[in-house]
Structure 1
Amino acid sequence: QDRPLPFPRSSHMQRQPQKKTEIKWKCLLANCIHEVLSTRQGWRETDRDDWDFIWADKDWIRMHFDECRAGLPPTTKVNHFRNHYELTRKDHMVKNLKRMINNLRREDRASEAAMYDFFPVTYALPMEYGVFVEDYKRQTDKPIWIAKP
């Protein structure tokens, strides 16, 4: 079961910040990120699991992050989050925006739901083909339709 990553605590729950002399980091990719991190003053690479910051690919996050997250302090930073595709894939992002609108309407918060009018009417084909055809038939003027594979 997916659990949300811990977010920073609100200001009234914050512990007093501790001065840290160095930041331990781990990079699982041999690329420019590794090169940049290795030249940062006050940053030290670690092979252990005591890192403050990790740069990992999304597959590593999906497979390993839950098992190591339990022992990490809330200040630990990661470059990806589980299920990132819920925002980074357009079809999933639209699905989540539509879900938010429907939830707000169900809660009688229509004015808040109306604030989500910033994205165009979108259909995920072939699943929503029937709805798309009905909306298309209802159009009286000559609308412009954009199809993306």
Structure 2
Amino acid sequence: MSVGHTGVTTPAATTPVVSCAEECGVRDVQDRLGDKWTVHVVVELAAGVRRFRELQRLVPGISQRMLTLTLRRLERDGLVTRTGYPTVPAQVEYELTGSGHSMTHLIKALVDWSLDHRGAIAEARAAYDARGRGGGA
């Protein structure tokens, strides 16, 4: 590429808002928040302690297996605690940890951003599709 071309496609003298020069752990957080069910489960747990079946009812479409995997991953990451009680049948409750509760602020910010921008995103998608560019690269 020519120097002139690079100047056109690369903004001059901009400072990135976020930088992650070395391994900063963002991939782990992205993997957790980016899966299909984590945000839904965290939102339900933000309201308080929940039993497994209660969570399954509150998160429409989640299977028992996916809820189990999601809760295990959240527990492994230190975002959820699991408390089992020796009853018949066994009773298990899940609760957000301090770190889990702090993550709800990120989720709220993402929800707020999406609400503020969904109209503009819908318009941009419609304009893109109208240009016939919706089928690929």
Higher relative contact order (CA 8 A, sep 6+): 2
> Which structure features the higher share of helix residues?
2
TM-score > 0.5, shorter chain as reference = no
**TM-score computed with the length of structure 2 as normaliser:** 0.28
| Greater Rg over alpha carbons, structure | 1
